[in-house]
């Protein structure tokens, strides 16, 4: 703004072009991040419900003692806690997660004399849902909005005042107070930066570092 007043540069350009060049990509990235968050909620619900259903199947197995039923719950609880903790970190290695889920199969193999084929098929059916939801959540966790598009938005936000200030000065006029163009440019830049920061926070909905982050404690299983 100071450079505009100092050099006397001003011009009148249709803001539609600037809106298409900057606002559209910014809104697109925000919408993409929001959709990823909504998908994450769906997969987390499936993850928890599948674990709970597996637990109910074992609870209904009359061949299991109370101790064995408790052991099953502890295995499922370990899967639940390990995976939710994994989502909070920037660690994308899933080897430990696979080994944790594999404990269900190992335990069923150990107790195969107490588990009939019907129960086994039902457990495997919902265990497949657990795997599917975990893979979907891992994909959301590790793959974000395209970096090139986010970088484009960020660069354009910083360059925006250099294009916008001469337009505002041209529309307001030199005879009016300088505070008016300053205020208009500052409030516009504040809005753009705020929208960009919202998008950045939505990029990682599991790290508890934003107002709209997912509360993972809600998806923990309990008896």
pLDDT of residue 11: 52
186 part of a folded domain:
yes
pLDDT of residue 21: 74
Residue 58: which domain range?
50-144
pLDDT of residue 150: 81
pLDDT of residue 12: 67
pLDDT of residue 173: 67
**Number of folded domains in the chain?**
2
Q: Are residues 68 and 116 in the same domain?
A: yes
CA–CA gap between residue 69 and residue 58 (Å, rounded) = 7
What residues contact 200, with CB distance under 8 A and at least 6 apart? 150
181 part of a folded domain:
yes
Q: Are residues 11 and 59 in the same domain?
A: no
State pTM to two decimals: 0.80
Long-range contact pairs involving 163-168 (C-beta distance under 8 Å, separation at least 24): 163/13, 163/18, 164/18, 164/188, 165/1, 165/3, 165/4, 166/4, 166/9, 166/10, 166/11, 167/10, 167/11, 167/12, 167/13, 167/15
CA–CA gap between residue 100 and residue 102 (Å, rounded) = 5
59 part of a folded domain:
yes
Q: Are residues 82 and 125 in the same domain?
A: yes
Digits of tens for pLDDT over the chain (223 positions)?
555 555 556 556 666 777 777 778 888 888 888 888 899 999 999 999 999 999 999 999 989 999 999 999 999 999 999 999 999 888 778 888 888 999 999 999 998 889 998 999 999 999 999 999 999 999 988 887 777 878 888 888 888 877 777 777 776 666 667 777 778 888 888 888 888 888 888 888 888 777 778 899 999 998 6
Q: Which of 144, 164, 180 is the last residue of a domain?
A: 144
Q: Are residues 150 and 137 in the same domain?
A: no
User: Among 87, 85, 7, which Cα is nearest to 43's?
Assistant: 87
Both structure tokens of 221: 């299983």
pLDDT of residue 94: 82
Q: Are residues 61 and 136 in the same domain?
A: yes
CA–CA gap between residue 152 and residue 140 (Å, rounded) = 22
Asked if 30 and 198 count as a contact pair (C-beta separation under 8 A), the reply is: yes
Q: Are residues 111 and 154 in the same domain?
A: no
Phi/psi at 10 (5° precision): -155, 150
Q: Are residues 134 and 150 in the same domain?
A: no
Q: Are residues 133 and 149 in the same domain?
A: no
pLDDT of residue 66: 92
Q: Are residues 137 and 160 in the same domain?
A: no
DSSP 130: H
pLDDT of residue 89: 84
Asked if 69 and 59 count as a contact pair (C-beta separation under 8 A), the reply is: yes
CA–CA gap between residue 2 and residue 17 (Å, rounded) = 24
214 part of a folded domain:
no
pLDDT of residue 176: 67
27 part of a folded domain:
yes
Q: Are residues 139 and 107 in the same domain?
A: yes
DSSP 112: G
Q: Which of 124, 144, 164 is the last residue of a domain?
A: 144
pLDDT of residue 3: 57
Q: Are residues 121 and 75 in the same domain?
A: yes
81 part of a folded domain:
yes
pLDDT of residue 98: 87
43 part of a folded domain:
no
Q: Are residues 60 and 136 in the same domain?
A: yes
198 part of a folded domain:
yes
């Amino acid at each position: 703004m100071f450079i505009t007043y100092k050099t006397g540069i001003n011009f009148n350009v249709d803001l539609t072009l600037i809106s298409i060049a900057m606002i559209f990509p910014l809104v697109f990235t925000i919408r993409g991040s929001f959709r990823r968050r909504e998908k994450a909620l769906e997969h987390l619900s499936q993850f928890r419900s599948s674990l709970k259903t597996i637990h109910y199947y074992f609870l209904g197995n009359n061949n299991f003692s109370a101790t064995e039923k408790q052991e099953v719950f502890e295995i499922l609880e370990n899967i639940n806690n390990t995976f939710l903790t994994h989502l909070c970190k920037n660690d994308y290695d899933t080897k430990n997660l696979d080994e944790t889920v594999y404990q269900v199969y190992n335990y069923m193999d150990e107790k195969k004399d107490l588990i009939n084929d019907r129960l086994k098929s039902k457990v495997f059916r919902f265990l497949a849902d657990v795997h599917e939801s975990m893979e979907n959540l891992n994909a959301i966790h590790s793959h974000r909005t395209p970096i090139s598009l986010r970088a484009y938005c960020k660069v354009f936000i910083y360059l925006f005042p250099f294009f916008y200030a001469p337009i505002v000065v041209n529309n307001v006029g030199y005879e009016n107070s300088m505070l008016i163009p300053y205020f208009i440019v500052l409030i516009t830049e504040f809005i753009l930066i705020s929208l960009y920061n919202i998008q950045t926070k939505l990029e990682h909905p599991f790290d508890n570092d934003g107002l709209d982050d997912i509360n993972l404690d809600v998806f923990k299983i309990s008896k």
